[in-house]
Homo-oligomer: A and B are copies of this chain.
């Protein structure tokens, strides 16, 4: 199959029904934008879930070129896949595995030059046991829970660790981490509480660099930046400040192809469950993208699409491989078989599509299906 990393000239377009274009230059610009926001504090890149569905194999190297040297994944397997990708473009990158030390798999981390983020006393113990017989202990990060109650040492576990420092004997800690539960809500008291709890925890543990802020946390102010920020979503165009205009560049373009145009008239219905009833003569385009591609069924009869500058509403139910779009208002010469339809609005399409579907931009990204042909642009 023809692939086209940096331009689209040599793609056999006719073969592809869905097109996903990732603007790697915008990813790099977003990274630099966040670096300027943290005023010199280091900024890592979270590339878990295949770089939020955009393709870690292309996105992570672009982030390394923009200056990122610390990378976060969720799972061990993601780290194992990412290591050779980064090593091919940049020496000295650290990769952290957020979901922690998988029982029985400790040896895999140093083998692939990955750092587990230790999430519990049990993991600290297992790691200490594992590194006991090694000359140079491989580094690991430690996650302190400050109110998320999901992963990380609980307050009780923190007490135990602070009171028995020998539990960390021999352990080479690279970072102390915590994670914010409500960072996207400016003025939420929980943010301050978590920051204060984190500072208090840092004082009780060995002095190593600290990291708290996710994408939204970066915009809560310099107090939240510590030594390393860990944005993910904002790098990929999700608005980290939902109550204000999006400071990030849109990274993603999604397109489907018109397979067929039909003229229908009242009282005809469109699609499954006869879910859309024509109120008069209308032109309907059937477009080659469906919920199997991550265009949620919840967008049925709600989402908008675009042909050039013309907004064309999605009508009827989203089906597995197809959507139907009311192109009555589009010029006939534009809405034709073979034409591409944009599924995201030009500027803030990711977040607005998410809102229409009742979810967040993160889920729109990670739901992107495997049938899109991926094109990466780098100006």
Residues of A in contact with B (beta carbons under 8 Å apart): 1, 12-17, 48-50, 52-53, 74-78, 98-100, 102-105, 108, 119-120, 122, 145, 147-151, 154, 156, 181-182, 185, 190, 259-260, 262-264, 268-274, 284, 286, 288, 290-292, 294, 296-298, 316, 319-322, 324, 337-338, 358-360, 362-363, 366-367, 369-371
Contact = CB atoms under 8 A, between A and B. Distances in A.
Nearest to A104: B14
Given A17-B76, A150-B270, A150-B319, 19 more contacts: A13-B104, A15-B108, A52-B292, A53-B292, A74-B292, A74-B322, A98-B321, A99-B259, A99-B321, A99-B322, A149-B284, A150-B322, A151-B286, A154-B262, A181-B273, A182-B272, A185-B273, A297-B359, A370-B370
Given A14-B102, A14-B103, A366-B291, A122 B337 contact: yes
A77 B320 contact: no
Contacts of A369: 49, 366
A351 to B, nearest CB: 14
Contacts of A337: 103, 120, 122
Contact of A363 (B148, B297, B363): B297
Contacts of A262: 145, 149, 154
B99 A147 contact: no
A337 to B, nearest CB: 6
Copies of the protein in its oligomer: 2
Contacts of A359: 297-298
9 contacts: A15-B108, A17-B99, A49-B292, A49-B321, A49-B369, A145-B262, A150-B270, A182-B272, A182-B273
Contacts of A271: 148-150, 181
Contact of A298 (B270, B290, B298): B298
Contact of A272 (B78, B100, B181, B319): B181
Main secondary structure of the interface of A (DSSP, over half): loop
